[in-house]
Amino acid sequence: MSLSEKYKQAAMSLQMVQPFEGSRHVGWKSPSNIALVKYWGKREPQIPQNPSMSFTLSNSFTETSIEYSFYDKSGPKIHFTFEGKNELAFKKRIERFLESIIEYVPFVKQLELKIESVNSFPHSSGIASSASGMSAMALCLVSIENQLFGTLRNKSEFFEKASFLARLGSGSAARSVYGGFVVWGKHERLADTSDEVAVKVHVPGKDMWELGDAILITSSEKKKVSSSAGHDLMDHHPYAEARYEQAREHVPYLLEAMEANRDELFIRVVENEALSLHALMVNSNPGFSLMNNNTWSILEKVCDFRKDTGIFIAFTLDAGPNVHLIYRKKDKVQIKKFIEEKIIQFCENGYWIDDEMGGGPVELN
Ligand code: PMV
């Protein structure tokens, strides 16, 4: 049985909320993640065309708290503030998200929800907040389910449902409910992987793979083409099938590279993924590019630095012009020096975010 069917069945006993007085509270702090193998292209309902792999960050996160009370009309009734302000566009997105998942969490129809959300990174930094935002929201909803019905006391079931719901809000959000390295999307060679939820992957020689991520902001402007439009353009993309096959090969390559400490292979796969993603955008119809001149300058400097010093460093990009520098945490001093001396001039107002791999979401009291 698919997870979707399982949750639909289970939802039959989640229909009726016993009226209660006053309000209750849930809250989660959930981080963003950076994909090493990219998810680009999907089919309904938010099923990825290829498996992707990421690691979860630490300092770039969303904190969401929900105060909820019993609502005896047909709800849910929603109040939403982002960083203390009423943000209509965000509220609409949350409403659409709740509508899309209502069959899995029908109890929210009998609730009034006061949702407050804040990001650790500036809203206008060009950093996508959908992974952290949607995962924080999904975790709050499963916490509410647990408080009202006690159905998700088992930790792995709790996070599995959170990942399932987060995915329906934003594909990459499915991966943010777990710390460390995470795979989302069925891969026949990787046990337990699924298109419906993400799974944590265990990497041997873990100390070697404690990674830092320096997020270099080259532009904080709103993207001219959204991720959803980019995913849609993959539907008739001439290279779509080759791309999906490439990503299917890259996931085990990356795991093998980590297992055998093959740094060169790791770097080749990660950088190839970033460039492939952006090449797919250029080759879409209509084509577009989200990289800018500073993005290219940084990529060049990174390659020169690696060649000159032999230090492990790889660049990657999400769907935007900002560059993520992936490095080993033990090399942080040299990497910071490199950024300050050679890179900061390409960052908008010298801005970059010092992030690293993290342990996943944390419940807020
Ligand atoms: O989750 P979405 O729909 O915002 O798509 C994310 C797409 C990339 O960030 C480019 C790649 C990924 O796997 O995170």
Is there a domain that residue 362 lies in? Answer: no
The answer to whether residues 71 and 166 belong to one domain is yes
The answer to whether residues 234 and 194 belong to one domain is no
Q: Are strands 323-328 and 313-317 parallel, antiparallel or unpaired?
A: antiparallel
The answer to whether residues 50 and 197 belong to one domain is yes
At 11, which CATH number? 3.30.230.10
Is there a domain that residue 207 lies in? Answer: no
Q: Is 48's C-beta closer than 6 angstroms to any atom of ligand 1?
A: no
- In ligand 1, the atom with minimum distance to the C-alpha of 42 is 3
Residue that finishes a domain, picked among 202, 235, 261:
202
> Distance, CA 118 to ligand 1 centroid (Å)?
21
Give per-10-residue mean pLDDT for the chain (365 aa). 97 95 98 98 97 97 98 90 92 95 97 96 76 97 97 96 98 98 96 97 84 96 91 97 98 95 97 98 96 98 98 96 97 98 97 97 95
Exposed, middle or buried, 287 (CB in 10 Å: 0-12/13-18/19+)? exposed
Supply the Cα-derived Rg of the chain in whole angstroms: 21
Residue that finishes a domain, picked among 144, 179, 202:
202
Residue 315 domain boundaries = 214-356
Write down the pLDDT at residue 134.
97
In this structure, which residue's CA is closest to atom 6 in ligand 1? 172
**Whole-model pTM?**
0.97
Tokens of 113: 């929800």
- In ligand 1, the atom with minimum distance to the C-alpha of 172 is 1
DSSP for 43-107, please give it: ETTTEESS-EEEEEEEEEEEEEEEEEEE--SSS-EEEEEETTB--HHHHHHHHHHHHHHTTT-GG
The answer to whether residues 231 and 174 belong to one domain is no
DSSP for 209-230, please give it: G-EEEEEE-S--SPPSS-HHHH
Write down the pLDDT at residue 345.
98
The answer to whether residues 30 and 154 belong to one domain is yes
Q: Is 318's C-beta closer than 6 angstroms to any atom of ligand 1?
A: yes
The answer to whether residues 122 and 13 belong to one domain is yes
Write down the pLDDT at residue 124.
65
Q: Is 348's C-beta closer than 6 angstroms to any atom of ligand 1?
A: no
Question: Domain count of the chain?
Answer: 2
The answer to whether residues 186 and 305 belong to one domain is no
> Distance, CA 237 to ligand 1 centroid (Å)?
17
Q: Is 56's C-beta closer than 6 angstroms to any atom of ligand 1?
A: no
Q: Are strands 77-82 and 111-119 parallel, antiparallel or unpaired?
A: parallel
Q: Is 355's C-beta closer than 6 angstroms to any atom of ligand 1?
A: no
> Distance, CA 11 to ligand 1 centroid (Å)?
29
Write down the pLDDT at residue 340.
98
Cα–Cα distance measured from residue 325 to residue 305, given in angstroms and rounded to the nearest whole number = 12
| 3-state SS, residue 186 | coil
Write down the pLDDT at residue 358.
97
Q: Is 176's C-beta closer than 6 angstroms to any atom of ligand 1?
A: no
